[in-house]
Structure 1
Amino acid sequence: MLGYIFLAIAIVTEVVATTFLKFTSGDNPKWWAFAIVVVGYVASFVALSQSLSRGVPLGVAYAIWSAVGVAVIAVISWVFFKESLTWVQILGLVLLIGGVGLLELGGRHPAA
């Protein structure tokens, strides 16, 4: 269970870092955003590593980490930055999350 808590921390810190990438670009990049990006990605990889050392399989951890991150970033971009999110993209996100769910379910072995 602790491994999945670290995985959640990895996802949150990665989403924060990726969101603040938006503020590092353009005509007036913000210096403080660079610091948030670096700290966020370092924290994310440390937490991801901790989740692996606590029993979360690498394939499952990476699939959850990347898929949830992509989905949350897409929604954040749509809500806060007014970027487009079409029905086709939404369907893609649903399929992505569904695929990761199947990956997780496929790895569980019931007790005999």
Structure 2
Amino acid sequence: MLGYVYLAVAIATEVVATTFLKFTSGEDAKWWAYVVVVVGYVASFFALSQTLARGVPLGIAYAIWSAVGVAAIALISWLFFKEPLTWVQIVGLVLVVGGVGLLELGAKQPAA
């Protein structure tokens, strides 16, 4: 169970770091945003390594980490940065998250 707590921390810190990438681009780049990005990614990879050390399989951990991150960033971009999110993209996000759910479900089944 602790492995999944570390996975949640890895996801949260990666999402924060990726979100703050927005503030590092363009003419109005903020120096402090670079600090948030670097610290966030370092924390995320550390937490992800702790996830694996606690027995969560790599394929499952990475799939959950990336899918939840992609979905969260898409929603954050839409909500806070007013970036477009079409119905086709929403369906794609649902399929990605659903695919990860199937990976997790399949990991709990006996091997064929």
TM-score normalised by the chain length of structure 1: 0.97
What SS does the aligned partner of 1:99 have?
A: helix
What is the 5 A alignment of 1:39-78?
A: 39-78=39-78
1:83 alignment counterpart: 83
Give identity over the alignment, percent.
78
Structure 2 unmatched ranges of 5 or more:
none
Deviations 1:84-106 (A, max 9, x none): 00000000000000000000000
Count how many residue pairs are aligned between Structure 1 and Structure 2: 110
- Alignment-mate amino acid for residue 78 of structure 2: W
Deviations 1:15-42 (A, max 9, x none): 0000000000011100000000000000
Compute the displacement of 1:109 (Å): 3.6
Q: Distance in 2 between matches of 1:4 and 1:87?
A: 30
Deviations 1:71-93 (A, max 9, x none): 00000000000000000000000
Q: Distance in 2 between matches of 1:91 and 1:8?
A: 24
Q: Distance in 2 between matches of 1:6 and 1:108?
A: 20
1:24 alignment counterpart: 24
Q: Distance in 2 between matches of 1:49 and 1:55?
A: 10
Q: Distance in 2 between matches of 1:25 and 1:99?
A: 32
Q: Distance in 1 between matches of 2:92 and 2:109?
A: 28
